[in-house]
Amino acid sequence: MDAKTFDTTDPALYINRELSLLAFNRRVLEQAKDESNPLLERLRYLCIASSNLDEFFEIRVAGLKEQVALQAARVGPDQLSPADQLRRISEIAHALVAEQYQMLNELLTPQLAAEGILFLRRGEWNARQARWVKRYFYRELLPVLSPIGLDPSHPFPRILNKSLNFLVSLEGTDAFGRNSAIAIVQAPRALPRVVNVPPEHAAHAHEFVFLSSIIHAHVDDLFPGMQVTGCYQFRVTRNSELFVEDEDVDDLLLALEGELHQRRFGDAVRLEVADGCPAEMISLLQHEFNLGPDDIFQCNGPVNLTRLMTVPDMLDRPKLKFPVFTPSRPRRLPMNSDLFATIRRGDLLLHHPFESFAPVVELLRQAAADPDVLVIRQTLYRTGADSPIVKALVDAARAGKEVTVIIELKARFDEQANIELATDLQEAGAHVVYGVVGFKTHSKMILILRREGKLLRRYVHLATGNYHPRTARQYTDIGLFTCDHLMGVDVQKIFHQLTAPGRAGKLKKLIQSPFNFHNKIIELIERETAHAQTGRPARIIAKMNALLEVNVIAALYKASRAGVKIDLIVRGICALRPGIAGISENIRVRSIVGRFLEHSRVFYFQHDTAKEVYLSSGDWMGRNFFNRIEVCFPIEDKRLRDRVIKEGLEIYLVDNARAWSLQSDGNYYRVKAGAKQRDAQLQLLEQLCE
């Protein structure tokens, strides 16, 4: 590309969103192949890759299919049409699925067997195991299975999204003279997909049987007097996007409750079938679900690899898993310390999962029990079942505190859990608000107002990640405790904005979408561009989950052309093409895929010796800038700022163990280790954990 004809609208400058997301999933799948990872963790990575692909079809492919059907095609800056994207996706996804099963069958299964962990196929059962399987079938499965023969009075049943089903071919007639040639057997979701063989019946340390194998072995018993001539697993993936227009409903909670039921029966977007399923059977299913040939995936193994996720948790084999670690606590936060007093002495930073999430819960518990605390306000996006966060808020409300919780009901796939916790909070006397119509509340904020003499002091927690104790041990995120007056006033204004109509006024320190987050990021990039144009040193390092917004990408291209050195650490989707001569040659993009999911958003801007660091709940995507309520906040304490630069950015820029480098052609290549291997997450575990 000729640098002199640089045009920020040139589609060649942008990588397609969906193809970039598939590239991320390939990086996850590569972790299953990587023998430096413990064996059971490699199995877990395989399951994560399978689960990611499920969601990709449920949301992304479903959306593209809708655009094609409605002839309302939207194209991104790469200018690929929805139909073109679907063709490319089908090609890549089929290759990914084939690779998943090859890994399972040729790599993981033999290596697990060598460790005494076996998945027994039907032909491998000995007489004792076969008898146990038969007893298990009659005791656990036969009473709950409801086979349905297809005939004029039994039409094709509704198939739940991602459920396990069997297509059975039959010969003969039954007691009523019916000669149904086809039947459907649906496996209830409550049944485990992987069954542990009891030790007294096992020939090895750990033996498992797939539910599908048990049903296959005894499917004849479901159709007495008939001859079963074939039995084939299949699974349908459906459109799972919720279609609730906030502006058109009177009660968002009731509307969502109704829509959640329909999610299970959305339009089919993918069909997975057993590898040996005959063509005429596949054709029958394809016709039933109105799918094309590109939507069919033949699986050389269980049709739902995600269900193998339970296996590592069923095994006490610590040498085959990542080492257990204990998150540390900052020295300023010993157990049972007065968190309010500690925060008054200066801002505090927590870097999860290396440092404990417990102080966040403790802050709320102390606030609930403290007679001087008057008000607690919090946003909740994802928090998990039986959350100690919710329990602390319930206790606070019952203790008479003024508790207000902003719950985002439309947190994808967590809607039902959020509806339930909203009910629990309301029953305890808390005020529950569902945010602002048309905007997802994605910011992570806690505000506590405490009476201290004549002063009403504001204590604040701001974070890059959700208030979810489980994911706080699995995701990298950073949180800040502060009682800075101006920051506290800003957070109070945002909460007021979320609960009541009106204009909150200009914020002093925080940056907020959908108002000024986008403009501020552009402004900061352009400032560094101007510095570089005058010959002054200029530097940008940004870490995020995804980079898509076209105007930000264009600004980064211009900064690169001006000589700004730019490093981007983008875990997932990245539409920017680095390394284009004359355009993005000063930009490097890397992705870290390791033990923990990289989730923190850190933005660093430097000119001369001046350094600015911001943390945020939002990525550089259009939805985060314009369709969500996000908060971006500065780290002003020099010691904490330097720590964020070191732990959140610099250590990742020298990682050569888990890093992937994005090339200008859109491909990612694994960064090769040099003389000394540097694993950023492992280093942080060693530095910060107990």
Which sequence positions are flagged as catalytic?
Answer: 442
The string of DSSP codes covering 267-330 is: -EEEEEEETT--HHHHHHHHHHTT--GGGEEEESS-S-GGGGGHHHHH---GGGSPPP---B--
Kindly give the residue spans of alpha helices, DSSP state H, lying in 506-549.
Answer: 517-533
What SS3 state is found at 242? coil
Sort 198 into a burial class: Cβ within 10 Å, 0-12 / 13-18 / 19+: exposed
Sort 686 into a burial class: Cβ within 10 Å, 0-12 / 13-18 / 19+: exposed
Beta bridge pairs of residue 195:
209
d(CA 59, CA 61): 6
Work out the number of other CB atoms within 10 angstroms of the CB of residue 95: 12
Phi and psi torsions of 378, nearest 5°: -150, 150
What SS3 state is found at 77? coil
Residues 6+ apart with CB under 8 A from 511: 517, 520, 614, 616, 631, 632, 633
353 prior amide bond cis, ω within 30 = yes
The Cα-based distances of 537 to 478, 532, 576, 605 in angstroms read: 28, 6, 23, 11
Cα of first residue to Cα of last residue in the chain, in angstroms, is: 51
Maximum pairwise Cα distance, the chain:
91
Beta strands in 608-670 (DSSP E): 610-616, 628-634, 659-662, 668-670
For β-strands 445-452 and 455-463, DSSP reports them as: antiparallel
Residues 6+ apart with CB under 8 A from 436: 497, 498, 629
With CA atoms as reference, report the closest residue to 100 among 300, 260, 249: 300
Q: Which amino acid is it at 466? A: N
Work out the number of other CB atoms within 10 angstroms of the CB of residue 672: 10
d(CA 638, CA 648): 15
CA angle 557–559–561, rounded 5-degree value? 70
d(CA 13, CA 378): 41
Beta strands in 172-226 (DSSP E): 182-186, 194-196, 206-210
For β-strands 475-482 and 348-352, DSSP reports them as: antiparallel
Phi and psi torsions of 77, nearest 5°: -65, -20
d(CA 492, CA 488): 6
For β-strands 538-544 and 511-513, DSSP reports them as: unpaired
